Amino acid sequence: MQRKIGFIPAMLAIIALTLALAVSASAGTWINNTSRNIMTPGTDGGLILVSPGDSVATVYVPTDGDLTRTAATPYYNPVAVRHTVTSTGSGDDQTVTLLGTGTPSHIYIWKVTGGPVSVFYDAVANTPAVAILRAGDRFQHDIRRRAATLVLQFAASGTCEILETNEAIE
């Protein structure tokens, strides 16, 4: 899906996403200080039993208010890696190697500055381009490890931001 947004809204969206991911304070390590067993989501999302005096590390919001937070880690962050790609323009194609092992499954590309950029999976020969982005455009795709690289073919100098995520972000 491709959406046209202006330069300032695109930058604000990137900043908002970064801040939203940074302040998810509900993740962490929690201890059961009660005299009863408590069920709560573990790091994989499945319910686990936390006995009195035991701790649990989770990236999910605990389902019981009787757990006491003892540490901020582990942190929740669906962004596996962030790439900033800059090109001097035509003839200066940029290749980004994707993680590709198990996760992430989604990519988000923002055209931040400069002229148009064509995005290809694995090679420029893999036509047509999956997206042609102009400043302010955003492209997202549930890639699910079906490509090992992104090739960005810039028509003019410019910059793109690319996020590889473990889940969809809207």
Phi-psi label, residue 146: left if phi above 0, alpha if psi -120 to 50, beta otherwise: alpha
Where are the CATH 2.60.120.10 domain residues in the chain?
2-21+77-165
pTM (2 d.p.) = 0.69
Q: What angle do CA 15, 28, 82 make, to 5 degrees?
A: 30
Instruction: Please give the Cα distance from 57 to 149 (Å, whole number).
Output: 34
96-114 pLDDT, tens digit per residue, is 998 855 556 889 999 999 9
Mean pLDDT (whole number) for 42-64: 87
Chain mean pLDDT for the chain: 82
Which of 3.30.70.1380, 2.70.70.10, 2.30.110.10, 2.60.120.10 is the CATH number of 2-21+77-165? 2.60.120.10
